[in-house]
Amino acid sequence: MTERIPASLRTEALEQLLTERGLVDPAVMDTFIANYETNVGPLNGARVVARAWVDPEYRARLLADATPAIKEVAWGGGANGEHIVVVENTPEVHNVVVCTLCSCYPWPVLGLPPSWYKDPAYRARVVREPRTVLAEMGLELGEDVEIVVRDSSSEVRWLVLPERPAGTEGLSEEELTALVTRDAMVGVAKVSAP
Amino acid sequence: MTNIADMSGTSGWGPVSPPDPDERPFAEPWERRAFAMTAFTMGRISGQNLDAFRYALARLDRSAYLDDGYYGRWLNAAELMLIESAILAPGAVDARARRNAGEDVVEPPAPEPARPDYAATAPGSLRRIDTPPAFVEGERVRALAVPPPGAGKLPGYVAGHPGVVDLVQPAHVLPDTHAVFRGENPQYVYTVRFASRELWGAASEEFSVTVELFESYLEKA
């Protein structure tokens, strides 16, 4: 067995081969990548959450049929977002999202998945011992809180509507948007007041 | 589905990594390029599809799946799809990388492309079907004891276990056949809730887990 070639060099080789054949255009790739580095990120999901916190009618629409409701306030199209379901975290019930079979994730509202979400330890363990895993990630839930793990095993994508933190009653929708984190929208954290 | 991609409940991975709120989408520059090339490969370049990509990931060996992380496995799945559609010859990527490193390696000639004879009936995975769903919300069901072979997406940890239908989701193309270009065969998808102690035994933490399962993966409980 010859020595394994580093992924960086194999990536470079593949790009050369495809470019020489006219199958990819590096400039088109640049544009595609830039979109995912700048536009497609958790700010979209945060806008949705903040709107749901300030507008009860919007919240009801979002929980009933999330995909069109998301498009009212944020870009919600593209890959990995054809059918999104939103579930609400409450003091009694805590939802947390995983994809055990790959790393399926609601790209239009959260961007590309963070490393811990793609990590075998998270994928393997959160469906087996979620309370322990959440504690390792810094979220200690009371014993009386019911945990529901959402394993995204098809093209359905899950987004968590976190609890609005106490003490944020006076904040504007824009200020609330800035508080909402990616981790809270996956269900491995709560949103904190500023 | 029982393969390297089906990680549910497997052990030996150690602790989870703590989230870094400031993490950027890509850790290394090559990951950006691997991401974009794979996205373009799975459709336009190889003539395959998203389910074929997932099936390519599931067929990687342990080293190809794990050693270079998420985008490493994307790169390896893209190479597999390109070889299977005869866009690239086996070994072409490694040969080019070795030549780039100054080794005296002969590169294999590009083969005659043989993209799958397949065209999607519509974009994406959602489809409308005329028949009503076989199961209703609140109904008790059981996941098949033996997961469908090949590209099927029944996670091994729920196989054979009873659960309750929480939600009936829209019909989606069936990965079992769509991934291998044998038709879309759309089916309803069900969000099925399982009790942790049913899956993992009486000593388990108490919680529930929902899994999206295609209609043909379920029977009445």
Q: Does A167 touch chain B (CB under 8 A)?
A: no
Q: Are B157 and A127 in contact (CB < 8 Å)?
A: yes
Calpha distance A147→A131 (Å, rounded):
8
Q: Are A121 and B79 in contact (CB < 8 Å)?
A: no
Calpha distance A121→B12 (Å, rounded):
8
- What pLDDT digit, counting tens, does each position of A46-94 carry? 999 999 999 999 999 999 999 999 999 987 777 788 999 999 999 999 9
Average pLDDT over residues B46-75: 95
- For residue B210, give the 3-state DSSP assignment: strand
Q: Give the range among A77-91, A167-181, B57-71 with minimum mean pLDDT.
A: A77-91
Calpha distance A140→A157 (Å, rounded):
25
Is A89 within 8 Å of A53 (Cβ atoms)?
no
Q: Which backbone phi and psi does B189 adopt, to 5 degrees?
A: -115, 140
How far from each other are the two terminal CA atoms of chain B, in whole angstroms? 21
Q: What is the DSSP letter of B41?
A: I
Q: Are B45 and A111 in contact (CB < 8 Å)?
A: no
- What pLDDT digit, counting tens, does each position of B87-141 carry? 999 999 999 999 999 999 999 999 999 999 999 999 999 999 999 999 999 999 9
Contacts of A121 in chain B (CB under 8 A): 13-17
Calpha distance B192→B211 (Å, rounded):
5
Q: Are B100 and A120 in contact (CB < 8 Å)?
A: no
pLDDT at residue B10 above 90? Answer: no
Cβ atoms within 10 Å of B131's Cβ, excluding its own: 9
Residue A3: pLDDT band with limits 50, 70, 90:
confident
User: In this structure, what is the dihedral angle of CA atoms A167, A170, A175, A181, given to the nearest 10 degrees?
Assistant: 20
Q: Does A181 touch chain B (CB under 8 A)?
A: yes
pLDDT at residue A1 above 60? Answer: no
Cβ atoms within 10 Å of A162's Cβ, excluding its own: 25
Catalytic residues of A: 99, 102-104
Average pLDDT over residues A173-180: 98
Q: Give the range among A71-75, A129-133, B52-56 with minimum mean pLDDT.
A: A71-75
Calpha distance A192→B143 (Å, rounded):
39
Tell the CATH superfamily of the A44-186 domain.
Nitrile hydratase alpha /Thiocyanate hydrolase gamma (3.90.330.10)
Residue B2: pLDDT band with limits 50, 70, 90:
low
Average pLDDT over residues B30-53: 95
Domains of chain B: 1-110 (1.10.472.20), 140-220 (2.30.30.50)
